[in-house]
Structure 1
Amino acid sequence: MVHFTADEGHAVPPPAPPATPAGPRHWYTHLYVQVLAAILAGVLIGHFAPTTGEALKPLGDGFIKLVKMIIAPVIFLTIVTGIAGMRDLGAVGRVAAKAFGYFLFFSALALVLGMIVANVVRPGAGLNIDPASLDAGKVADYAAKAHETTLVGFLLGVIPDTFLSAITGGNILQTLFVAILFGIGLALTGARGERVTAALEDIAMAMFKVVGILMKAAPVGAFGAMAFTVGKYGLSTLANLALLVGTFYLTSALFVLVVLGAVGLWARFSILRLIVYLKAELLLVLGTSSSESALPLLIEKMEHAGCPRSIVGLVVPTGYSFNLDGTNIYMTLAALFIAQATGVELSLGQQLLLLGVAMLSSKGAAGVTGAGFITLAATLSIVPSVPVAGMALILGVDRFMSECRSLTNFIGNAVATIVVSRWEGKLDHDALDAALHGRTVPAARA
């Protein structure tokens, strides 16, 4: 159970249990090894037996459903117990303001980086594709969803129909909204609220045990998802648009290693060590093409690395909707690729307009399934110079790029959590250093 001090108002880890002698773990028992082996097996099955690979899709879908089943309760319990344990409720608003300031700055930076790289590399130049020859029907569903997603609709969508539907509906922002309200309510209730908080902490302990049980199935899910992806789309699909895919992966790597690496130096940690620390979760994201599959594990890992529960509970869930660095890089890069491929030359003013629209549309579609492709459709529909039908050009390789989007988003949210914790003066640097250097084992509840 996490305890809260009355004077400091933040989480204090309980005394460590006595060490029990245990032999070294075999290499094949580590989750990241099992997931990596499953990914490789999935690639082989999908490549050499594509029909079988496509038939394995339910394995990946089933695992992601298992994880989504647990996401809302984990977020709710983490946020409620974190906020209820804070004595200074003004800190909640301060943390939220800092988090959103961070999200807006780095979202804009990611969009600008994608635009710069697209103009320098020009991956779509020379294709000379007639927009009239493209099959607009392939992207009609995405365009329709994009038109349905408005800023007002998004804001109203944050409010659930009922208190319980926020937990059962699968909308992270609704869960976040209700959890913050309930956490504040508990903090204002006094002694009775403390008793409820203690009970919820015990429930959270059990819930994270459930997470540990579900993660046993992670290799199976990664195997099924990767086998389906390669079986359905084929590795040869990448060859047709290799320059775009390669440019996107390199740009994302540049953003993580250089931009987020510089942030890490300021916050006194190594981005490379953070990546190693999160290797099992990153492989899980890679295998399933979904950063949500590792959300509960990210919450655990960030608390273990010295970030207070109250900050982790606010930054991680909101970051999953508003801090999408990989998606933002993809949006400007893909939009300019389509423009170049269809022979549309955009002026600097038009590109800046595109960037501004992308900044707004990426927030308006937060929490929508397939948000990357949908927000791209929303952006292009508002900037008529670039044909929306051009999205058909990248539809075949979007699945491969979604993996990179998810990985970049995941790392970006881990960095944001550490940075906001440091801004608040609540980051335990010793715990962070120990976790990143592998000197401790995951917390007991993991």
Structure 2
Amino acid sequence: MLPTTSPIQAAPRLPFYRQLYMQVLVAIALGVTIGHIWPDAGVALKPLGDGFIKLVKMIIAPVIFLTIVTGIAGMKELGAIGRVAAKAFAYFLTFSTLALVVGLIVANVVRPGEGLNIDPATLDAGKVADFALQAHDRTLTGFLLNIIPSTLISAVAEDNILQTLFVAILFGITMVLIGDKGRPLMTIFESASHAIFRLVAILMKAAPIGAFGAMAFTIGKYGVGTLANLAGLVATFYLTSLIFVLVVLGTVAWFAGFNILHLLRYLKAELLLVLGTSSSEAALPSLIEKMERAGCRKSVVGLVVPTGYSFNLDGTNIYMTLAALFIAQACNVHLSLEQQILLLLVAMISSKGAAGVTGAGFITLAATLSIVPSVPVAGMALILGVDRFMSECRSLTNFIGNAVATVVVSAWEDGLDRERFRAAMAGIPLDPTPDVEEVIPD
């Protein structure tokens, strides 16, 4: 057993009505009810969900910057930084690729699009024109160049996760190189980090309102009955994602010494928030805090979580290959094994950098299909109506995948306080670690 870094102190358990996950759960139920009974009212509540997501996105860049800079500077060795990054990217590449393969296999076995016999010429390509336009510039070169910001400040000011990540890593490495000369600045960053996480605590109190508005809009706009037309695809995607989480990620968790179900229970408030808002970004700040509180080393959390949000998108990858083959089957387009492998290779590249926000998976799919001409891009009109429902599953799977990756890489680095982690997985409310302010009561 690894030595603990701090004494484990149980925080007092709050009444159920004050727990965030319960408040979000009630808000989701109310949103579904209003959206179903009064659709127009549900659609009108959209600004509540949009407003909450904007509030969270407002602080994501500062959270990432401060977490990474203080985490890397705390390592004090450049070799340790490179080692953690190498292990994280090896994990991301392995399991992101595995997710693509799983989607490909399931699509070939279940064949959810078979029998629709859609003529591509009859599809309304105009419905997906905007998505195709956004996907036009998603080339590998464009993606790499877009990582470099115009200025150091613009990366944070423009809320670009990859650019913020790039600047923060460079700045953190610089802090290591200048050593004691950077200590005064490090003190300022640490104080700012405490302030930012306290701000997160304040903003998270609005989470039930955001989940309520987002769910009311989804049901009011698209209706529960919308699922009937493409229920097979939606059900296949949800079942595939569930199997991936429980079997694939569950096996990884078992080898790392923990139970995936216990981790899901620990993150139940964040999972409900992702479900309600259909955005994994909504829970990014609290995921960082929860992982640190559970005993994962701050420097590892600071590197793995933000990079995972751009490079470890398991749910998006499952969706891409599954949806692409659904469109091909629905349009009676036969793809050979070589063409399916090409599709997978293109998806491996185009999926990188797709942030975990609503619609990103659809745009990435458009980018993939535009490079693989065998499958008509216009066929995306077939799944446009239910993409919102699949977006929720994409976001949940992406979020869980990044949580598992954080624990696994922490364990690989001997940066996991096992005693504290076991206490967190057992459901014992913990006081925050000395390095982290409490942000979400649980």
Asked if residue 318 in structure 1 is aligned to residue 307 in structure 2, the reply is yes
Rounded Cα–Cα distance in structure 1 between residues aligned with 2:357 and 2:207: 24
Match of 1:187 in 2: 176
Match of 1:348 in 2: 337
| Native 8 Å contact 2:357 2:395 kept in 1 | no
Deviations, residues 162-219 of structure 1 (Å, cap 9, x unaligned): 1111111111111111111111111222223122212211211111111000000000
Q: Structure 2: which amino acid aligns with 1:272?
A: L
Asked if residue 74 in structure 1 is aligned to residue 63 in structure 2, the reply is yes
Asked if residue 112 in structure 1 is aligned to residue 101 in structure 2, the reply is yes
| Native 8 Å contact 2:84 2:409 kept in 1 | yes
1:280-429 mapped onto 2 (5 Å cutoff): 280-363=269-352, 365=354, 370-429=359-418
Rounded Cα–Cα distance in structure 1 between residues aligned with 2:356 and 2:407: 23
Rounded Cα–Cα distance in structure 1 between residues aligned with 2:357 and 2:284: 16
Match of 1:9 in 2: none
Q: Structure 2: which amino acid aligns with 1:274?
A: L
Q: Give the match's secondary structure for 2:385.
A: coil
TM-score by length of 1: 0.94
Deviations, residues 383-416 of structure 1 (Å, cap 9, x unaligned): 1111110000000000000000000000000001
Q: Structure 1: which amino acid aligns with 2:22?
A: V
Rounded Cα–Cα distance in structure 2 between residues aligned with 1:327 and 1:154: 17
Rounded Cα–Cα distance in structure 2 between residues aligned with 1:278 and 1:155: 33
Residues 1:113 and 1:227: Cα distance change in structure 2 (over 3 Å): same
Between 1:414-423 and 1:321-330, the stretch displaced more is 414-423
Match of 1:128 in 2: 117
| Native 8 Å contact 2:149 2:163 kept in 1 | yes
Rounded Cα–Cα distance in structure 2 between residues aligned with 1:326 and 1:292: 14
Match of 1:49 in 2: 38
Asked if residue 445 in structure 1 is aligned to residue 438 in structure 2, the reply is yes
| Native 8 Å contact 1:172 1:367 kept in 2 | no
Asked if residue 150 in structure 1 is aligned to residue 139 in structure 2, the reply is yes
Rounded Cα–Cα distance in structure 1 between residues aligned with 2:395 and 2:119: 31
Between 1:331-340 and 1:150-159, the stretch displaced more is 150-159
Give 5+ residue unaligned stretches, structure 2: none
| Native 8 Å contact 2:42 2:217 kept in 1 | yes
Match of 1:167 in 2: 156
Rounded Cα–Cα distance in structure 2 between residues aligned with 1:240 and 1:370: 20
Q: Give the match's secondary structure for 1:159.
A: coil
| Native 8 Å contact 2:132 2:366 kept in 1 | yes
Match of 1:224 in 2: 213
Residues 1:369 and 1:420: Cα distance change in structure 2 (over 3 Å): same
Rounded Cα–Cα distance in structure 2 between residues aligned with 1:363 and 1:160: 18
Deviations, residues 351-385 of structure 1 (Å, cap 9, x unaligned): 11111111111126457873211111111111111
Rounded Cα–Cα distance in structure 2 between residues aligned with 1:365 and 1:87: 31
Give 1:272 shift: 0.3
1:54-65 mapped onto 2 (5 Å cutoff): 54-65=43-54
Q: Give the match's secondary structure for 2:352.
A: helix
Match of 1:237 in 2: 226
| Native 8 Å contact 1:241 1:397 kept in 2 | yes
Rounded Cα–Cα distance in structure 1 between residues aligned with 2:249 and 2:37: 38
Give 1:428 shift: 1.4
Asked if residue 247 in structure 1 is aligned to residue 247 in structure 2, the reply is no
Rounded Cα–Cα distance in structure 2 between residues aligned with 1:254 and 1:367: 21
| Native 8 Å contact 2:320 2:365 kept in 1 | yes
Match of 1:90 in 2: 79
Rounded Cα–Cα distance in structure 2 between residues aligned with 1:28 and 1:191: 47
| Native 8 Å contact 1:301 1:442 kept in 2 | no
Give 1:423 shift: 1.3
Give 1:15 shift: 6.4
Q: Which has the higher contact order (CA 8 A, sep 6+)?
A: 2
- Percent of residue pairs bearing the same amino acid type: 73
Q: Structure 1: which amino acid aligns with 2:134?
A: K
Deviations, residues 136-176 of structure 1 (Å, cap 9, x unaligned): 00001111111111111111111111111111111111111
Deviations, residues 55-77 of structure 1 (Å, cap 9, x unaligned): 00000000000000111111111
Residues 1:16 and 1:112: Cα distance change in structure 2 (over 3 Å): closer
| Native 8 Å contact 2:280 2:357 kept in 1 | no
The count of residues paired between Structure 1 and Structure 2 equals 433
TM-score by length of 2: 0.95
Rounded Cα–Cα distance in structure 1 between residues aligned with 2:341 and 2:85: 28
1:178-217 mapped onto 2 (5 Å cutoff): 178-217=167-206
Rounded Cα–Cα distance in structure 1 between residues aligned with 2:295 and 2:331: 49
| Native 8 Å contact 1:277 1:435 kept in 2 | yes
Q: Structure 1: which amino acid aligns with 2:171?
A: F
Q: Give the match's secondary structure for 1:346.
A: coil
**Could you tell me which of 75, 89, 99 is aligned with 1:100?**
89
RMSD (Å), alpha carbons: 1.7
Rounded Cα–Cα distance in structure 2 between residues aligned with 1:166 and 1:16: 38
Rounded Cα–Cα distance in structure 2 between residues aligned with 1:438 and 1:276: 8
